[in-house]
Amino acid sequence: MVFTLTPTTLKPGEKITIKGTGYGIFFTEKSGLVVSLDGVATFGVDITETGEINGFYILPTTLVKGNHKITIEGDDMSFIVDDTPVGCVNYSEIFNIITTLTKDTNFWFHTGNIYYKLVDEIILRKALDEEKTNSWKDTSKLPFIPKDFDCTEFSKAMLGYLVKYFYPNSPCIGIIYIKKLEGNHNMLFFINQKKELWLLEPQSDTWMPWSSGNDIVGIFI
């Protein structure tokens, strides 16, 4: 019998649906197939041959955030308990999104929060457009001064503006330190509502997809 588990990511106390191919599975206190949670046997499972019916396994409310495993008849099914609010992304997922796309894990990663709000590109574009209407806010109009006000200061200035704009939410926007062939460069990055990584150049107010020619030195968010 082949078992499948959905969802693979859930909130504490949510239900998991487990299907067995060709059979319906009812989770009861009766004897039957032994179900174990994280290696500890819980209770028996009844099998019926009347057709394929969803079975529900109610997770203990005390189940902690992190990786877990349900085992039935030697089949291991992994799932994650994640208490990240809807529309947000946690720091671990941010790291995974970046490393999966860039194929790079050799960089420092500093985060101040547990989770961040995914960026709505419409709101981001509105923020950049409004920035241009105020000359004292428009970072792209500031003069570039080597070693005094360069890409580092441009990035910090833009990040401060956007964090205030998205208040009271903490947006998934940060500074990315990149090593390029022509030298190191600092700019912003953000993760949108599709969980895609984009780069944002504060000196021109433009954003672009990740380029494979870049190497990450560090991430600050």
99: alpha, beta or left? (left if phi > 0; alpha if psi -120 to 50):
alpha
For the entire predicted model, the pTM comes to 0.66
Residue 221 burial (CB < 10 Å; 0-12/13-18/19+)? buried
Cα 214 to Cα 1: distance, rounded to the nearest angstrom: 47
Q: What is the pLDDT of residue 143?
A: 75
Do residues 108 and 101 lie in contact, with contact meaning Cβ atoms separated by under 8 Å? no
Q: What's the pLDDT band for 31 if we cut at 50, 70, 90?
A: very low
pLDDT tens profile 142-194: 778 877 788 899 999 999 999 999 998 899 999 999 987 677 899 999 999 99
Q: What is the pLDDT of residue 8?
A: 75
Question: Is the pLDDT reported for residue 45 higher than 70?
Answer: no
Q: What is the pLDDT of residue 46?
A: 53
* Residue 29 neighbours by CB under 8 Å, 6+ apart: 43, 44
Question: Is the pLDDT reported for residue 19 higher than 80?
Answer: no
Tokens, residue 91: 């720091």
Question: Is the pLDDT reported for residue 48 higher than 60?
Answer: no
Q: What percent of the chain has pLDDT over 90?
A: 29
Using CA atoms in the order 63, 64, 68, 71, what is the torsion angle rounded to 10 degrees?
A: -20
pLDDT tens profile 195-215: 999 999 998 889 998 876 678
Least confident of 39-48, 121-130, 142-151, 189-198: 39-48
Comparison of pLDDT for 112 and 188, the residue scoring more:
188
Q: Which of 42-51, 113-122, 209-218 has the highest mean pLDDT?
A: 113-122
* Residue 78 neighbours by CB under 8 Å, 6+ apart: 8, 67, 68, 69
